[in-house]
Chain A
Amino acid sequence: MTVTSEFGYTIVSELSESSRVQDAIMTMLRQLSFTDEDLADLHIALEEGLANAIKHGNQLDATKRVRVSGTVDGECVCIEIEDEGEGFNPGEVPDPTLEENLEKPSGRGLLLMRAFMDSIEYNEKGNMLRIEKRCSIDG
């Protein structure tokens, strides 16, 4: 299968907007016959990436925007999420699986994205995330 699709959205920093964009992107991806497991992984990563951008990046500031864009090229899905915040250093986020951090709130979203995507990287400033997943086709 070689289907190339592109998508792009710019939203205000509200979590309801995140849900709207996720629904639109997932509806589009579901039409491409990816397996349920891949779709679930992508949905989780999308939710975590958007929540980080809106809550931590833009600090829920409604005057700031989040840009979401992506491509589906063959069986590879690539999504970029950019916020207008100060950025951060993902290397400084504590490991949430360490005994002393197990009940702390931070770092879990990042870890889920790392676990479920084939590639996740931030730009140098730390305000733009790029996630990539190579998906399997169902049937």
Chain B
Amino acid sequence: MASFKDRRLLDEATIEMVAQQLYSLVDDHGCQRVVLDFSEVDYMSSSALGKLLKFHKKILGVDGALRLCNMKPELQKIFKVLALHKVFKIDKNRDKSLKKI
């Protein structure tokens, strides 16, 4: 289970730092099943979404699973516009994600 502390994943320095932390979950800590809690995130840029897609690929590459949860309406809107709800498994809350992962 990982959650974000930044409300806006927009600027490149933050995005890169968060991405490295996520990649490290798989590369250094051997995590295969990950739930990402977005309750603190107001919105993300396309660049941050690119990193999330790369992380997703990494997880799938080790036969793992990724679920996202607790998305605010603004963030849901972004995912829907970009059709990313077809790519990611998204749950309403943490409990549902933990049950399904």
Q: Which residues of A contact B (CB under 8 A)?
A: 15-16, 18-19, 22, 37, 40, 43-44, 47-48, 51, 96-97, 102-103, 105, 108-109, 111-112, 115-116
Distance from A16 Cβ to chain B, minimum over Cβ atoms (Å): 7
Residues of B within 8 A of A97 (CB): 81-83
B10 lies within 8 A of A43 (CB): yes
Q: Is there an interface contact between A40 and B11, defined as CB atoms closer than 8 Å?
A: no
**Contacting pair A103 B11 (CB below 8 A):** no
* Count of inter-chain pairs, beta carbons less than 8 A: 59
Asked whether any CB of chain A lies closer than 8 Å to the CB of B2, the reply is no
A102-B83, A102-B84, A111-B82 known; A16 and B45 CB under 8 Å? no
The answer to whether A103 touches B82, judged by C-beta atoms less than 8 angstroms apart, is: no
Main secondary structure of the interface of A (DSSP, over half): helix
Decide: A115 and B43 in contact? CB cutoff 8 A: no
Nearest A residue to B49 by beta-carbon distance? A108
Interchain CA distance A19-B15 in the complex, whole Å: 12
Most buried by B among A15, A22, A108, A111: A108
| Residue contact A105 to B50, C-beta cutoff 8 Å | yes
Check if B81 sits within 8 Å of A44, measured CB to CB: no
B74 CB-CB contact with A under 8 Å: yes
Closest-CB distance, B81 to chain A (whole angstroms): 4
